[in-house]
Amino acid sequence: MDHQIYRSIPVTPEEVTPKHIYQSRRKFLKSMGVVGLGSLLASCAPALSPDGSLPAGSPTENLEDALTDYDAITNYVNFYEFTTSKEGVAERAQDFITDPWSVEVSGLVENPQTFSMEQLRANYPQEERIYRMRCVEGWSMVIPWVGFPLHKLLATVKPTAEARYVLFESALVPEQMDSADSGMFPFPYLEGLRLDEAQHDLTLLATGLYSEPLPPQNGAPIRLVVPWKYGFKSSKSLVRIALVSDQPPTLWNTVAPQEYGFYANVNPAVDHPRWSQATERRIGEAGRRPTLFMNGYAEEVMPLYEGMDLTINY
Amino acid sequence: MDQKPQKRSMQHWFRFAAHLLGLLPLALFSLDLLRGQLGFNPVETALQRSGRAAVVLLLLSLTITPLQKIFNLPKLIPLRKPLGLYAALYAGLHFITFAVWDYGLNLSLIWLEFNQKPFLILGLGALLILALLAATSNRFTKAKLRAAWRWLQRLAYLAAVLAILHYLLAVKGDLLTLQGDYTLPLIAAGILLILFSLRIPIIYKALQRWFQRE
């Protein structure tokens, strides 16, 4: 099988470090007291101009994009249906039932269907995709997902001419999710993409992580990954994908529309109302690094936003 | 000092307890730091723990006067100073974590965070008040300022308001509809409201009568 690999930096398959070796290297670095170098490294970050854009010639291409530890990816998670404690999700999600599972694909399509996970795995070859993930809170990771591009699924169901957006609904199972009934958030978790964003090759339906099936806390058994947008757009544990004609409501846009837009494209020049988005903390590393426009995928996705004012369409 | 030995040791126990409470968060944090147990986002953990310690200790320092008034416990009064100073300490550590550990003293980046955003401006306001109170927490200033000193120290209430607003603004969600994880900051706000109301003469006098009937 052709192992197509998407990278944030050019890396050959042999360079992908097996996770157990990567983890032991990290432990070695920690024991050397690398933590203390944080402040030194941060002061080496390029100075931003007042509007948050990087000065010309900034060495962002030279910033390392090392894979984030499996431990960090699986134990530092926002999954509020379980708990708002990032490090508490893993334990609480352990008994989340992800098999059997089906995803209903419906709405403005010619072939609405409900797929089981077995059907999805059989019909769509899985590939590894290494993507950056940037949370709106200001931290980021580099994650080796396994999955298949959403456009292949959409091609099967054939959106009609009226379909302009895609709605994603995540699972809501109060009996298994401790905080589902807390009243803090208007669950179920809904998200959406414009049809062309959904059909972009970068948009992934992920079923695995570090060559293993997704653990429950990361959105098992199938989740969305849209790497050029803030992490909250990448819905977990999908139960329904629907093609619709109007821009769908999304949870965070419903909760705080002045803070979380529909597009939510990563953009260092567009601040969150309460904090700057110019820099981020890469989990596992010391110091801060400049946030990249479109999370570093600008070349691939800018054609989608030609002529759009990104400060209005945040 | 002609206090009975019993009374003196009570004072000492109270002071000991205040210092223990004040140093506990730092001790626990240092242990976790040395054992590499600060989680996956250590800077965030440090910010959260120092911030919470500052708010808790500040609120504790503000409970002293109401408790003393209502239950007639003058022995508690000397505890205001250590509790308040520890609150200032954690507020300072919180700021240093932000400015040095997180932002490496990169002033242009720090400016981007403050510029036109109440979230951090409120926090800085609280810190500056606490720093001022800490700096004036000594006999010499008290003697020099006299009545003004008491007024100055009451700014601790303002510091608490600013700090809790800062805390509320740190939560991801909508404050006006309370959608989001506002549990802890709301508890802090609730406690502060109770503390404010306990300073109202009608209320504390009624409580005094209730608890000091003899």
Contact B103 A288 (CB under 8 A): yes
pLDDT in tens, B10-34: 888 889 999 999 999 999 999 999 9
Q: Which residue of B has its CA nearest to A88?
A: B39
Which residues of chain A have a CB within 8 Å of the CB of B102? 42, 281, 288
Closest B-chain CA to A260: B173
For chain A, say whether B109 makes contact (Cβ under 8 Å). Answer: yes
The beta-carbon neighbor of A45 closest among B101, B106, B182 is: B106
- Best of A34, A85, A272, A276 to disrupt the B interface by mutation (most B CBs within 10 Å)? A276
Residues 6+ apart with CB under 8 A from B107: none
Nearest to A48 among B109, B118, B172 (CB): B109
Predicted confidence at residue B91, as pLDDT, reads 98
Q: What percentage of residues in chain A have a pLDDT greater than 70? A: 80
- Chain A within 8 Å of B104 (Cβ-Cβ)? yes
Pick from A42, A76, A271: CB nearest B104: A42
Cis amide bond preceding B66, omega within 30: no
What total number of domains does chain A contain?
1
Is the pLDDT at B196 greater than 60? The verdict is yes
What is the average pLDDT across A91-114? 97
Query: Given an 8 Å threshold on Cβ–Cβ distance, is B39 in contact with A76?
Result: yes
And the tokens for A135?
Answer: 């949370």
Whole-angstrom Cα distance, residue B29 to residue B42?
11
Give the span between the Cα atoms of B163 and B141, in whole angstroms.
Answer: 25
**How many residues does this entry show for chain B?**
214
Task: List, in order of start, the domains of chain B with CATH numbers.
Answer: 5-211 (1.20.120)
Q: Name the residue range of residue A124's domain.
A: 13-305
Rounded to a whole number of angstroms, the CA Rg of chain A reads: 19
Cβ of B200 under 8 Å from any chain A Cβ? no
Tell me, yes or no, if A26 comes closer than 8 A to chain B by beta carbon.
no
Q: How confident is the model at residue A129 (pLDDT cuts 50, 70, 90)?
A: very high
CB A233 within 8 A of CB A264: yes
How many angstroms from the chain centroid is the CA of residue A12? 23
* Tens digits of residue pLDDT in A217-269: 999 999 999 999 999 999 999 999 999 999 999 999 999 999 999 999 999 99
pLDDT tens figures, B117-165? 899 999 999 999 999 999 999 999 999 998 999 999 999 999 999 999 9
pLDDT value at A143 more than 70: yes
Tokens at A41, concatenated: 């490294």
Distance CA A205, CA A153 (A): 9
pLDDT value at residue B68: 92
Residue of A70, A84, A250 best to disrupt the B interface, most CBs of B under 10 A: A84
Amino acid B6: pLDDT: 60
Nearest residue to A136 (alpha-carbon basis) of A6, A224, A294, A260: A260
Model pTM greater than 0.80? yes
Question: Is the residue at A143 inside a domain?
Answer: yes
Checking ipTM against 0.85, whether it exceeds it is yes
Q: What is the CATH number of the domain that holds A173?
A: 3.90.420.10
**How would you classify residue A206: left for phi > 0, otherwise alpha for psi between -120 and 50, otherwise beta?**
beta
pLDDT at B5: 60
Domain assignment present for A298: yes
Please report, for residues A11, A21, A74, A130, B145, the alpha-carbon distance to residue A15 in angstroms, rounded to integers and kept in the order given.
6, 12, 22, 12, 68
Structural domain includes residue A313: no
